Amino acid sequence: MATDVTMPQLGESVTEGTITRWLKKPGDRVAKYEPLCEVATDKVNAEVPSTISGTLLEIVAEEGATVEVGQLICRIEEEGGAASPQPVDQGRESSPSASASAGQETPSMKRRYSPAVLRLAQEHGIDLERIEGTGKGGRITRKDVLQYIEGRKAASPASPRGDESPAAAEKKPAVPEIQLPAAGTSAKREGISVSLEEGDQEVPVSSVRRTIAQRMVTSKHEAPHAWTMVEADVTGLVQLRERLKNDFKEREGISLTYLPFFIKAVVDSLKEFPYLNSVWAGDRIILKKRINISIAVATDDALYVPVIHDADEKSIGGLAKAIHRLAEKTRSGKLTLEDMQGGTFTVNNTGSFGSILSQPIINYPQAAILSVESIVKRPVIKDSMIAIRDMVHLCLSLDHRILDGLMAGRFLQRVKERVEAYGPDTQI
């Protein structure tokens, strides 16, 4: 008897996953709990295990396909079943009749293109909107594109256009990787109509980017943002780090950055101002007991926000190690669900990009987010004299339902006092 394997929910807010690699092929034997494929979501990369022991009959969702939670990805013949393995060609999709027999309503998959389909369309200059998909939910399969190409060849002359010589046709440059829309046309996606001009490029939105967009919109709509900033003199911190960084690198094998110093000042201040470490819950405010600091880690195509759990229990050196570990896991695609959950306050190191002033969006449903800007040398007045000092802006965005300016200002002032207090005798 064949058993359907569906896309599992890989997190409380995860609604879909993209299959990055199949670890088994049709006809392979699989043991219960043995990994079948690798899946990427906006939060983590994970393996989908087999729910039974048997033989992989059919792969329904090919590599590169984005599949919603609960949708079919493959079928397995249970050990001892009568059916025989039926390998399928790469790119085969479940038919509409198969979906109907499963008794499930299939959402539209029309514009969810696999890499194989996109590649064929780009190579042959095909507008995928012209193709009727036969895959699940109307999805366009590789076979649909090949049939369209064959039909187009049959309807057009085999020789080059009359105004092109065969030699010119051979030298004609390849179609760009991203197909360009015709000038004067318009594109409508999710109810938004945009005019397209010559040279414009349409880039499909990845599942990670779509999730980031949804969360940022939710945060701005749900939380009334307020913003405030202070300037801190961190000359002592700069001198302290300069003195310690080489020994720390030699001893620990990682770089000692400025970020753990700022996070330490933040977590110590959160103990004094617990409302900054809270969430809005409609008819009440929940003050979180644990202080879990979310940090922003950028990759080439997305921004992830892993969490340092119980950050208030760590030293500056311990925070440096935790930051390094999470950054390495993020960039190698090895973050786990635990790494992404439970954040209560966010510290964003925008200064690493050279920014000197920013207004961050709150990591909803947290109460606030702090951006640490770039440290720059500037002339300032100190003890009635002009001096060159290392200065930094600390920018705080806050949820005005939870926090008023007075409490936020006092919190930010304590963070400022703590970072300005770093000096030669500071222990890390």
Is residue 228 packed enough to be buried (19+ CB in 10 Å), middle (13-18) or exposed (0-12)? middle
Q: Structure tokens of 399?
A: 């949820």
**For every residue of 325-362, which 3-state class applies, written as one string?**
HHHHHHHCCCCCHHHHCCCCEEEECHHHHCCCCCCCCC
Q: Which residues are catalytic?
A: 400, 404
Is residue 185 packed enough to be buried (19+ CB in 10 Å), middle (13-18) or exposed (0-12)? exposed
Q: Which residues contact 55 (CB under 8 A, 6 or more apart)?
A: 27, 28, 29, 30, 76, 77, 79, 85
For residues 191 and 202, give the distance between their C-alpha atoms in angstroms, rounded to a whole number.
16
Q: Structure tokens of 45?
A: 């990369």
Is residue 380 packed enough to be buried (19+ CB in 10 Å), middle (13-18) or exposed (0-12)? middle
Judged by phi (left if over 0) then psi (alpha if -120 to 50, else beta), residue 70 lies in left
> Distance between alpha carbon 287 and the CA centroid of its chain, in Å?
28
Of 226, 237, 245, the C-alpha closest to 351 is 237
> Residues 69, 72, 76, CA angle at the centre, nearest 5°?
130
For residues 271 and 265, give the distance between their C-alpha atoms in angstroms, rounded to a whole number.
10
DSSP SS3 for 129: helix
For residues 302 and 205, give the distance between their C-alpha atoms in angstroms, rounded to a whole number.
11
Pairing between strand 345-348 and 368-372?
parallel
For residues 146 and 375, give the distance between their C-alpha atoms in angstroms, rounded to a whole number.
56
348-351-357-358 Cα dihedral, nearest 10 degrees: -30
Q: Structure tokens of 305?
A: 């926000």
Distance of CA 31 to CAs 93, 98, 149, Å?
Answer: 24, 25, 41
The single-letter code of the amino acid at 293 is I
